[in-house]
């Protein structure tokens, strides 16, 4: 339908919210199943029940406006949930994944809070007090859900996720240290062996030199003896 009035805009936004809430009822069970923190799992399960109630209220609000729910895809919610699912797949299981899911869930909550707050105001301006009350009730639950997620994150999840990171970093550092120490020990071993080999080679060379010198001196001595013998025989003749 054409948006040619504030009332038409209100109806379009309510229809958009209806699809958003339906998308959320399919995403929340997956998030609850992936949670490693009991409080977070319970928060997602509780909000799933509330979300089903939000769908009932939206249908009631549309009926009060004499409108039948129509099919409309909420692209904003579709994008937020797709982003959240991608983030979940990349995160390691445990507190880190819980922290990632809280991030994704709070993005959704803030989108809904902004939208419900706006349409509630539109209903009030248009004099649709019954619609405004329905939307205000949902807005209170969205704010409460967001506050609960913040409390869970601050109370346990964020600290555990940080501890996981420190533990992993420490483990990686220890592995690097082992490699470095092994390399250092091998270097010392090879260096020591090289020095021993060099010392042995030097001593062997010195021994060979001494032997060669002795041999040369003996040969020179024999040569002098031979010359003296020849000289003596010559004089006798």
For residue 134, the enclosing domain spans 6-178
**What's the confidence (pLDDT) of residue 69?**
84
Measured distance CA(185)–CA(187) in Å, rounded? 5
- Hey, what are 148's tokens? 């609960």
**What's the confidence (pLDDT) of residue 155?**
96
CATH code (residue 54): 1.20.1260.10
- Hey, what are 183's tokens? 């390399």
Report if residue 40 sits inside a domain.
Answer: yes
Mean pLDDT by runs of 10 across the 237 residues of the chain is 86 97 98 96 98 98 93 95 95 94 98 98 98 98 98 96 86 51 43 47 48 54 53 48
Report if residue 117 sits inside a domain.
Answer: yes
Is the Cβ–Cβ distance between 103 and 162 less than 8 Å?
Answer: no
Report if residue 85 sits inside a domain.
Answer: yes
Report if residue 197 sits inside a domain.
Answer: no
Measured distance CA(209)–CA(192) in Å, rounded? 26
Measured distance CA(144)–CA(163) in Å, rounded? 28
**What's the confidence (pLDDT) of residue 228?**
54
Report if residue 203 sits inside a domain.
Answer: no
Domain count, the chain: 1
Report if residue 71 sits inside a domain.
Answer: yes
Mention every residue, 6+ apart, whose C-beta is less than 8 A from residue 96.
Answer: 161, 164, 165
- Which of these, 124, 130, 122, lies nearest to 60 by C-alpha position? 130
Report if residue 55 sits inside a domain.
Answer: yes
Report if residue 232 sits inside a domain.
Answer: no
């Amino acid at each position: 339908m054409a948006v040619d009035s504030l009332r038409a805009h209100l109806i379009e936004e309510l229809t958009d919210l209806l699809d958003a809430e339906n998308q959320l009822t399919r995403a929340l069970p997956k998030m609850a199943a992936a949670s490693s923190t009991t409080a977070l799992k319970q928060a997602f399960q509780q909000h799933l029940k509330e979300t089903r109630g939000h769908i009932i209220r939206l249908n009631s609000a549309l009926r009060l406006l004499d409108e039948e729910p129509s099919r409309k895809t909420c692209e904003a919610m579709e994008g937020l949930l797709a982003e959240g699912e991608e983030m979940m797949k990349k995160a390691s299981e445990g507190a880190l994944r819980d922290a990632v899911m809280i991030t994704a869930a709070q993005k959704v909550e803030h989108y809904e809070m902004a939208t419900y707050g706006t349409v509630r105001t539109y209903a009030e301006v248009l004099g649709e007090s019954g619609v405004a009350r329905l939307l205000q009730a949902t807005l209170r639950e969205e704010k409460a859900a967001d506050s609960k997620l913040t409390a869970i994150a601050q109370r346990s999840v964020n600290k555990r996720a940080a501890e996981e990171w420190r533990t992993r970093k420490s483990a990686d550092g220890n592995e690097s240290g082992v490699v470095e120490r092994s390399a250092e020990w091998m270097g010392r071993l090879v260096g020591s062996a090289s020095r021993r080999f060099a010392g042995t080679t030097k001593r062997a060379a010195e021994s060979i030199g001494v032997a060669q010198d002795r041999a040369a001196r003996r040969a020179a001595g024999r040569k002098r003896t031979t010359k003296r013998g020849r000289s003596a025989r010559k004089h006798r003749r």
